[in-house]
Amino acid sequence: MEAQLQQLKEEALQKIEASQNVKELNDVRVAYLGKKGPITDLLKGMGKLPAEERPKMGALVNVVREEVTEVLEARMTLLQEQAIQEQLEKESIDVTLPGRPVKTGNHHPLTRVVEEIEDLFISMGYEIAEGPEVEKDYYNFEALNLPKGHPARDMQDSFYISEDILLRTHTSPVQARTMEAKEGKPIKIICPGKVYRRDNDDATHSHQFTQIEGLVIGEDIRMSDLKGTLSVFAKKMFGEDREIRLRPSFFPFTEPSVEMDISCFKCGGSGCNVCKKTGWIEILGAGMVHPNVLEMAGYDSKKLSGFAFGMGPERIAMLKYGVEDIRHFYTNDVRFLSQFHRTEV
């Protein structure tokens, strides 16, 4: 019986070794260790043995069973690992194949510029004011110190709807309307929007374009406040090391009036084609609100003062992104629009 047991063990160990997969090994387990297997049979057959041999034999059977089980489990672990390995190999993919696209659109570049400016000024306590694109001559011109027949009206040939209604030529009427509505109280606003002028569309002119203006009115608002505000704007928008300079200019609604240049962000001031070799780039017009404008809106120009500034998002986008033709902004070519997808530092 002992020999029989030894032979069984050898057989089992051989079959375990020969098993090539989990299923074969399980068959071996069932065949040798199962309830109907030969080892169980041996245990069952122990009844025929003399009583004094039974414990010894039982122990022996158990030892063999444990031994076989141990080898089988080890083999099982190995085969399982192999199986997983095979599975993984079968499942491997070409990771260089394209992913499922997530298609998203993006802001128009002008909106991108306008929102950037809006957010900067919002962080300094400004609100965003809007107004109609079709305006009364009064708000577009008269309330801004441009009475009928004023020579400066020639500067901006306009689209009239009737004798006293026109497409606004700048966003300044929003300032006039806001001042009227605020009834003498302080103001701090940014006015973005579409404006219209009688121009033939070409690379540098567009009969429709956008503007963004700012207005601050309060007690003791000084020109130094304007200069400081514009400097913050220039640095945020065009880089921390930008310098600004003011040049005298003329706008009927401000006095004094200035134009602001920034040091060229491309060459840093040494001269290049962006700054036309001057080292400076003209960015915006600004000034101290003309007392006539304040008075017309019901503000006491002796007590309150203010500053205003205005710029063209088209120009800023053209400078910033190197766009050479203003018409790109209104053609809506997807190959143009989609270039303004990514974030900027």
Partner that binds at residue 322, options Zn ion, another protein, none, CB closer than 5 to 8 Å by kind = none
Residue 338 touches which member of Zn ion, another protein, none, C-beta under 5-8 Å by kind: another protein
Between 68 and 289, CB nearer to another protein: 289
User: Which partner in Zn ion, another protein, none is near 116 (CB below 5 to 8 A by kind)?
Assistant: none
Measured from the CB atom, is 127 or 241 closer to Zn ion?
A: 241
Interactions with another protein, residue window 170-209 (CB under 8 A): 186, 188, 194, 196, 198, 200, 207-208
Measured in whole angstroms, the distance separating CA 94 from the mean position of its chain's CA atoms is: 30
Identify whether the C-beta of residue 227 lies closer than 8 Å to the C-beta of residue 245: no
Binding-site member from 97, 322, 344, 345 for another protein (CB under 8 A): 97
Q: Position 307: which residue type?
A: F
Please, what sign has the CA dihedral across residues 17, 18, 21, 24? negative
Q: Work out whether 229 is an interface residue with another protein (CB under 8 A).
A: yes
Choose one: 25-33, 74-82, 103-111, 267-275; the region binding another protein (CB under 8 A): 103-111
Taking CB under 8 A as the rule, does residue 325 contact another protein? no
Cis geometry, peptide bond prior to residue 50 (ω within 30 degrees of 0) = no
- Nearest Cα residue to 263 out of 284, 278, 247: 278
Name the residue among 270, 265, 198 with its Cα closest to residue 236. 265
Residues 243-272 that bind another protein (CB under 8 A): 245-250, 255-258
Alpha helices in the chain (DSSP H): 2-18, 22-28, 38-45, 54-91, 109-122, 137-140, 172-182, 223-238, 291-296, 313-321, 328-331, 334-337
Q: Is 337 in the site for another protein (CB under 8 A)?
A: yes
Counting Cα atoms < 13 Å in the Cβ hemisphere of 266 gives 15
Residue 43 interacting entry, from Zn ion, another protein, none, C-beta within 5 to 8 Å by type: none
**Interface with another protein, residue 162, by CB under 8 A:** yes
Nearest distance in Å: CB 208, another protein: 5
Residue among 218, 268, 269, 271 that touches another protein (CB under 8 A): 218
98 binds another protein (CB under 8 A): yes
Compute the distance between CA of residue 79 and CA of residue 74 in angstroms, rounded to an integer: 9
For another protein, give the closer residue by CB, 3 or 95. 95
Query: How far apart are CB 193 and another protein at their closest, in Å?
Result: 9
Give the separation between CA 223 and CA 188, rounded to whole angstroms: 15
In whole angstroms, the minimum distance from the beta carbon of 63 to another protein comes to 54
Contact 133, 166 (CB under 8 A): no
**Residue 322 in the binding site for another protein (CB under 8 A):** no
